[in-house]
Structure 1
Amino acid sequence: MKSHLTVFALTAILIVSIGMAPAFGQLTNESIVVTTDKASYSEGETIVITGEVRDLYSGTPISVIVKAPNGNLVSIAQIDVGADKKFSTEMTAGGALMKSEGAYIVTAQYGTVNRSAETTFEFGGAAATVTPPEEDESMVSDTMVSMGDGNGSIGYEITGGQLLSITPDVDANSLIVGIDATSDGSLTLTIPRSVADALLETGEDDEFFVLVDGEEVDFSEDVSSTDRTLTIAFQAGAEEIEIIGTFVVPEFGTIAAMILAVAIVSIIAVSAKSRLSIMPRY
C-alpha cells in the first residue's frame, strides 16, 4: 500500500511539473514587452514607444532599436528603466533615414539578446519634396531689368510679347534673354558697357553675335560711349534670345592658329630665301 502511495505521489509531482513548464517558459519570454501607441504613422507624427520589464537590473539600460523594411538602421536609443520597471521614448516619423513606406521593426533589448522583445508599426512613406524654382537673377519692370548684386540695369522696349528675364552667362560672355512672343515683334535693349560689351583686342568696338532660339539673326545697333542699343526682331513663339559679346569661338580659334602657323612658316621661308640671295657666291 505504501509503495502505491509513493508511486501516486511521484506521478502527481511529475504531472504538476509538466503542467508548470509552459507557464515558466511563457514568463521567460515575457521578461520584457514593448509596444507603440499606434499601429501606423504619417510623416511628422510622434511615435511613442513604451514597454515594461519583469525583473529590474540596476544600472542596465534598455536599448531601443528601430529598423527600416530593408533592414537598415533608423535609430537607436539607450533608455533607463524606471523604478516601476517601465520605460518610454519618442521619435518623429520621417527624416533622412526613414523615407520608405512599409513595416518598421522596433526591438527592445535589456542587457542580453535573451531579454528582448519586438513590435512593428507601419509608415506611409515620406512625402515628395517639391523644390521651388530658383528666382531669376534679374528683376523685370516695365522698362528696366535690374541685373542684381549692383551689376547695373538694362533698359528695354518690346512689341509682340513680354520680356521675362535676362540672365548673364559668364562662361559664354553672353546675356540670355527670356521672352514670351505672342506675335511677330521686336526687342530693343540698351545695354551698359559695364554689363556687357564686344571689343577687339585694340579696344575698338566689335559686333555682337545674336541668336534667337539658337538661330543667328540680323539686328540694328546704336552705339555711345556708355551704352550699346540693340534692336532685334523675332517671330511669334520665340522663347530665347542670346546676345554674345567678346569671345573666341573654338572653331575660329583653331583656324586662326592654323593661319598663324602658315604665316610663320611663310615668313621663315622668305627670310631664309632672302639670306641665301644676299650671300656671296664663290
Structure 2
Amino acid sequence: MKTRIIFVFLILGMIVTLPVFAQSLITIKTNSNSYKEGDTVVISGNVSTIIVGTPITLQIFSQGNLVDVAQFNVAEDGSYSYTIIAEGPYWAKSGEYTVRASFGEDNVAETQFNFSPKSDVIATDIFEVDAGSYGTFDVNYSINGGTVKNMLIDKDIFALIVIIESENDGSITLEMPRDAFDAKKQDQTDDTFIIIIDGIEVPYQETVTNTNSRIITINFEEGDSDIEIIGTTIIPEFGTIAVMILAVGIITTIIVTKNRFQIPI
C-alpha cells in the first residue's frame, strides 16, 4: 500500500514539473528592441533538446493580428535563426509586436519589440533652394509619410514648389523665411497662402508666425507629389550685384540722353 502511494506521488511530481521543463526547452531573442519600416529583423534562439522531425513554428503578432509566420528546422547544435524585412501590408500599425516560437507540444517562448511604420517616422532637414541670381535660401522642414525630392521657386506665380515622394498619408511642416517668400496684403499685414497639391487646393495649418519666418503644416495623401505654396512676394530675380549694374545702366542712359538732347541738369 505504501509503495503505491509513493508511486502515485512520483507520477504527480513528474506531471507538475514537466511544464516547467518544457517552457525552458526553447529560447528566443531579436537583434534589436525597436525597428522602423524596412529594417531587417533577425530572430534567433536555441533549443536545449532536439526533437527529430520537429520544426520550429515562428509567428509575429501585432495587437493580436498575425503579421508573419514561418516554419523551419533547428541546426544540429540546437540553434535557429530567421530573418525578415519589416515591411508589407501587415506591417501597418505602430506599437509593440510579439514574436512567438513554438517547438513541439507546449514548448513556447516569446519576446517583444517596438515597430514604427514610415508614416510615423519624422525626417527633419534643411533644403537649400536655388533662387537664381539672388543665390540660395534655406527652408527648414520636417516630413512624415514621405521624402522631399526637390524645392524650387516659380517667380511667375510667386510660388514655392515642393516636390515629394509620398509612400503613405502624411504631413510636411515648412519654416519659410519672410525675406525670401511671404504672403502679404496691400496694407502689409499677413495674408493666407494658397496651397495646391497636384492641381487641387487644400487647407493648411499655420503654427508659428514671427518677424523672421512663417511655419505651416500641410497634410498630403499617399501618391501626392507636387505641393505648390503660392504667396504674394518672392525674392527678386536680380541680386545685389545685378541691381547695382541696373542702377549704373540707368545713370548712363540719363547722361547719354542729356548729351544728345542737351538737357540741362
| Same fold by TM-score greater than 0.5 | no
Larger Rg: 1
Higher strand share: 2
TM-score (ref. length: structure 1): 0.39
- Which is bigger in relative contact order (C-alpha 8 A, separation at least 6)? 2
TM-score (ref. length: structure 2): 0.41
